[in-house]
Amino acid sequence: MTKIRAAITSINGWVPDYILTNDELSKMVDTSDEWIITRTGIKERHILKGNGKGTSVLGTEAVKGLLKKTGISPKEIDLLICATVTPDMQFPATANIISDKAGLKNAFSYDLNAACSSYIYSLVTASKFIEAGNYKKIIVVGADKMSSIVDYSDRTTCVIFGDAGTATLLEPTTEDFGIKDAILRTDGSGMIHLHQKAGGSVRPASHETVDAKEHFIYQEGQAVFKFAVSNMADIAVEIMKKNGLKSEDIAWLVPHQANLRIVEATARRMGIRKDRVMINIQRYGNTTSATIPLCLWEWENQLKKGDNLILSAFGGGFTWGSIYLKWAYDPK
Ligand code: UT7
């Protein structure tokens, strides 16, 4: 029987207009442009402003743009998975809200949360529906309004994160393209280093949790950095070895953009030259579920059919993973 693979056939990104610069942050907390650039590589990030605007706004704009770009009717979409750590609300799923706003009348939809690895986990999940043979068009949204859970008086986290939305279209192919392999990992003991303390069933929202700022990101930066550097590089090297790939076989490394130093360490371990690594952290910061697809979207015109790509991410949970895919189309 012919093997069906899931291939990315189009991609779109959307970022809000407002740009929060390092200089503006320097007026809000005790930090500097120089510190932020040296330690993280970030120069600016986009922020979604306006009351009542959540992650679904980012995702819906990205999906509408994708449908316009491809000329596909919203009714043709079978499934939408929204990778996010900042859903509009606890329930219903943000994916449902996006599907409704974008007119996806025939799609079922749900959210998937694996922190900064949400996009990689979602892409793998979506690919299985396609490989099973009964789903033809799936959209993976990677969207996060990180500014909704960032404490803008905490200099250790507020300089890192930004907001963005993306939409990735997956379709079946029987050719030798698309998602070829993936490795996903989880280690729940890492939870102590990176989490949001309140708002879940353990510590429901109360005056006390709000006063204690427990609805914001809690991150032990150095500990997370250590795990991220080793695990992201290890898993990228593991997927290369598993598929008999040498560094010269890889056209692009597409890493999660958490910190430029983590990205560079991963590329070094894989033996990949810096000009073969997609890096846009300087303009967007860490947009969690949107970092990897934002890169693919920005580099889309440079990608050629048959290019070998390694996607790699590490995030809260801890969660991490790598995907090996063969790009399925030439620039249009
Ligand atoms: O995507 C999800 C996974 N997350 C990550 O991968 C993030 C991993 N961690 C990191 O990227 C880095 O640890 C950070 C960017 C969060 C912090 O960078 P660092 O080089 O690890 O700094 P540090 O935490 O070791 O802090 C060094 C110093 C401290 O001062 P003292 O104690 O040496 O006096 C901090 O208080 O830098 C200080 N510091 C700052 N100074 C100016 C921390 N944040 C800032 C800041 N501006 N924004």
Q: Which residue has the tokens 């991609």?
A: 11
> What pLDDT is stored for residue 189 in this prediction?
97
The fold adopted by the segment(s) 179-326 is Peroxisomal Thiolase; Chain A, domain 1 (3.40.47)
* Token digits of residue 149: 């859970």
Question: Measured in angstroms, how far is the CA atom of residue 312 from the centroid of ligand 1?
Answer: 22
Which helix (H) or strand (E) element contains residue 295? Answer: helix 291-299
Atom of ligand 1 nearest to the CA of 155: 48
> Is 286 one of the annotated active-site residues of the chain?
yes
Among residues 12, 158, 193, 256, the one annotated as catalytic is 256
pTM of the model: 0.97
Q: Does the C-beta of 110 come closer than 6 Å to ligand 1?
A: no
> What pLDDT is stored for residue 2 in this prediction?
84
Distance CA 310, CA 322 (A): 7
> What pLDDT is stored for residue 102 in this prediction?
98
CB contact at 8 A, 233 and 266: yes
In three-state secondary structure terms, 44 is strand
Atom of ligand 1 nearest to the CA of 160: 15
Among protein residues, the one whose CA lies closest to atom 43 of ligand 1: 156
Please state whether beta strands 194-196 and 44-46 pair in parallel, antiparallel, or not at all (unpaired).
unpaired
> What pLDDT is stored for residue 332 in this prediction?
83
Among residues 82, 116, 158, 295, the one annotated as catalytic is 116
> Is 195 one of the annotated active-site residues of the chain?
no
CB contact at 8 A, 259 and 40: yes
CB contact at 8 A, 293 and 139: no
- Tens digits of residue pLDDT in 263-316: 999 999 999 999 999 999 999 999 999 999 999 999 999 999 999 999 999 999
Task: Give every residue of the chain whose pLDDT is below 70, as ranges.
Answer: none
Name residue 83's beta-bridge partners: 112, 142
Residues of the chain with CATH 3.40.47.10: 5-176, 179-326
CATH code for the part of the protein at 5-176 = 3.40.47.10
CB contact at 8 A, 300 and 11: yes
> What pLDDT is stored for residue 252 in this prediction?
98
Distance CA 93, CA 203 (A): 21
Q: Is the dihedral of CA 267, 271, 274, 275 positive or negative?
A: negative
> Is 116 one of the annotated active-site residues of the chain?
yes
Other Cβ atoms less than 10 A from the Cβ of 132: the count is 10
